[in-house]
Amino acid sequence: MTVTTRELLLSRIRDVADYPIPGVTFKDITPLLADPEAFTALTGALAELCVRHGATKIVGLEARGFILAAPVAVTAKLGFVPVRKAGKLPGATLSQAYELEYGTAEIEVHAEDLLPGDRVMVIDDVLATGGTAEASLELIRRAGADVAGVAVLMELGFLGGRARLEPALAGAPLEALITL
Ligand SMILES: O=P(O)(O)OC[C@H]1O[C@H](OP(=O)(O)OP(=O)(O)O)[C@H](O)[C@@H]1O
Ligand SMILES: Nc1ncnc2[nH]cnc12
């Protein structure tokens, strides 16, 4: 990704103070999505990382992760598997509980959508504490698939998510287009 593309993405992210809790600056990506040049550059850069790391399948994390992961999967010509918040998927699921920057949550996947032999790249908008990504890697491995890596638009470096995620990555790459 060029420096200009990184600057374009950075310039389109909006800071919203004190949301959803006082003291937390929320990084709103909607202005970036609304700009076709920035959105295309973003999905192209993430798709390139998926191909570079040999992914054969894309996992997107509900909800903001879906916005990026679906166009990335289409661009990279790979299948897309949704990891959803608990209680949303109709079939037999694997579940994983985890702690968020603000609260706790549980995510699920249809185990049959991930197969032994799949090399899965996880796509999300933000890596904050790393709890969501960590839980998704657990689900991928429990389904019998391999982890190709994790790629996010933004890493909130000051929250230490990279260090938390390291054991679960087990040598797989964590890619962030922008680190704040
Ligand atoms: O690294 P973490 O501390 O786990 O935080 C990052 C996660 O938090 C946000 O999702 P959120 O659960 O707020 O849901 P949303 O996508 O539905 O807004 C974001 O989209 C990531 O998935
Ligand atoms: N500070 C933050 N901004 C945007 N998304 C987030 N997800 C978790 N923390 C976040």
The complex's ipTM? 0.97
The structure's pTM equals 0.97
Mutual angle of helices 161-169 and 131-142, in 10-degree steps: 10
Where are the domains positioned within the chain? 3-179
Would you say 129 and 160 are in contact if contact means Cβ atoms under 8 Å apart? yes
pLDDT digits (tens, 9 = 90+) for 62-101: 999 999 999 999 999 999 999 999 999 999 999 999 988 7
Tell me yes or no: is domain 3-179 CATH 3.10.105.10.
no
Kindly state the tokens that stand for 116.
Answer: 């032994």
| Residues flanking ligand 1, CB < 6 Å | 61-65, 100-101, 105, 124-133, 161
115 CA to centre of ligand 2 in angstroms: 31
Q: What is the pLDDT of residues 4-20, one digit of tens each?
A: 999 999 999 999 999 88
Given a contact cutoff of 8 angstroms between Cβ atoms, the answer to whether 50 and 58 are in contact is yes
Beta bridge partners of 26: 16
Q: Would you please indicate which residues are annotated as catalytic (active-site) residues? A: 64, 101
Q: Which two tokens stand for residue 56?
A: 């054969």
